[in-house]
Amino acid sequence: MCAVGCTGPRNASQCGVPGTGSTQGTSIVTTSNTSTSSVRLPWADATRAAGVIAVVVFHVLIWIHDPVFGTETAAGPLLSRVNALLGTLRMPVLFALAGILASPSLIRGGDARKALSRSVSSYYLYVVWLLIYLLVFLLVGTAGSPHYFDSLNGFLTQLVVPDTTLWFIFALAVYIPVVLAARAVRLPPPVLLVLAVVVWFVLQSEGDGSLLERCAEHFVFFASGVFGAATLRRAAVAPLWLAGLFSAVFLALMVLRTTDIGAQNDALEFLSSLASIPAMAAVAHQLCRIAPVARAAGFIGARTLPVYVLHPVVIVCILAVGRQEALGPLVGSFVVDALYPVVLSAAVIIVCLTAENLLVRIPGNPLFALPESVRRRIVHSHPQNGDQRSSTSGTQSRNPRGRAISPLRRPRS
């Protein structure tokens, strides 16, 4: 997936992850059979679903469509503009939603142990799927495969320096300890947010675009979700006219970025990404008033983790077959060229969901959930370092769930 800020021409060098991602391994990605005592929020599922679909479409474009057919096909200019739009909102929205969902355990007074279990869960999923990616690359990958690595050394390096689409899940695992540390030293949230904004601008102007830097850049959106959760929740359920206003502001900023004044303007890029968060949530809420849309969004939104982690595997397998060139003559048609990435993305998502339906049957569900014994040990441990939360017995009565942060939720084993 591309790193959050990929808004320029589509090319492999811009691809970061999404960041999963979205999307929970910890984030905004959730798995099927979600078990939670809280009421599901249709707008959150819809926003999560839209984010992970945008990630898949982006990767289909930069990994399959563009390398095979080029960017100057019949619909190439349109696809580039659409991708720029999606690039502005894709990762900021996913990280913000992850922050909103993690907020109760991260804000002052929240259960730090529960937050820590989310972080461990996310990193566990990161390691498991990084190992799976290594096996896939060894079996069917080539040196030209996206984010290719084929050695134990490459695997060990990525345990601390992410360089695949899994950077989103890695980031979510790291963000929680950062917020908890700020909470432990009583750093005021506004100060932490200001520092995060400074980091974003510094890396935008001075960074090299690595995925590790993308993790640092996007912390500002996660932190915005954590500390602005109440405001963003209210924005999500805003009336239709306000949803329209949010969308208008976002689109106006995007249009301004296409002008000579707005092109390559870091401030406009940041503001448009920030504006996309309430706009996406509010639009999702309005669309969920349509029953079929709400059902479809709920179905995909509850399974964003498997789509997020599995779609690169499916794309690598498609590239291994290598027969896309046969479609070359068809991309001369604007309609066919425009529909090609949409149809292929839908096919990739269907394959991911089908595979997930089989993989969750593995006893203990190790591919999508932290082992229950580990989660319980973290969540039910005795309070440490002045944690004033209730004792283990009190925690047990609440029966907390150690879900990976964000949009990804843990399926039942």
pLDDT of residue 412: 38
pLDDT of residue 67: 81
Instruction: Calculate mean pLDDT across residues 286-309.
Output: 92
Q: What is the pLDDT of residues 271-285, one digit of tens each?
A: 999 999 999 999 999
What's this model's pTM, rounded to 2 decimal places? 0.83
Q: How many CB atoms lie within 10 A of CB 118?
A: 33
Say whether pLDDT at 314 is over 60. Answer: yes
pLDDT of residue 145: 84
Of 84, 98, 91, nearest to 55 by C-alpha is: 91
Q: How far apart are CA 71 and CA 170, in angstroms?
A: 31
| Alpha-carbon 283 to chain mean position | 19
How much is the mean pLDDT over the chain?
A: 82
pLDDT of residue 39: 60
Percent of the chain predicted with pLDDT > 90: 57
Q: What is the pLDDT of residues 174-212, one digit of tens each?
A: 999 999 999 999 999 999 999 999 999 999 888 888 999
pLDDT of residue 224: 97
Q: How far apart are CA 20 and CA 3, in angstroms?
A: 10
pLDDT of residue 340: 86
Alpha helix segments (H runs only) across 141-210: 152-158, 167-184, 189-206
Q: What is the pLDDT of residues 319-364, one digit of tens each?
A: 888 766 666 666 678 888 888 889 999 999 999 999 999 999 999 9
Q: How far apart are CA 203 and CA 150, in angstroms?
A: 29
CB 411 within 8 A of CB 304: no
Give residues with Cβ within 8 angstroms of 124, minimum separation 6.
Answer: 370, 371, 374
Domain edges within the chain: 12-187+290-398
pLDDT of residue 325: 67
CB 249 within 8 A of CB 202: no
| Alpha-carbon 79 to chain mean position | 21
Q: Pull the structure tokens for residue 281.
A: 């949530």
Q: What is the pLDDT of residues 16-63, one digit of tens each?
A: 333 333 333 344 445 444 443 356 788 999 999 999 999 999 999 889
Q: What is the pLDDT of residues 211-262, one digit of tens each?
A: 999 999 999 999 999 999 999 999 999 999 999 999 999 999 988 888 877 7
DSSP readout, 96-149?
A: HHHHHHHHHHHSTTS-HHHHHHHHHHHHHHHHHHHHHHHHHHHHH--TTSTT--
- For the ranges 31-40, 71-80, 377-386, the lowest mean pLDDT is seen at 31-40
Q: How far apart are CA 88 and CA 189, in angstroms?
A: 25
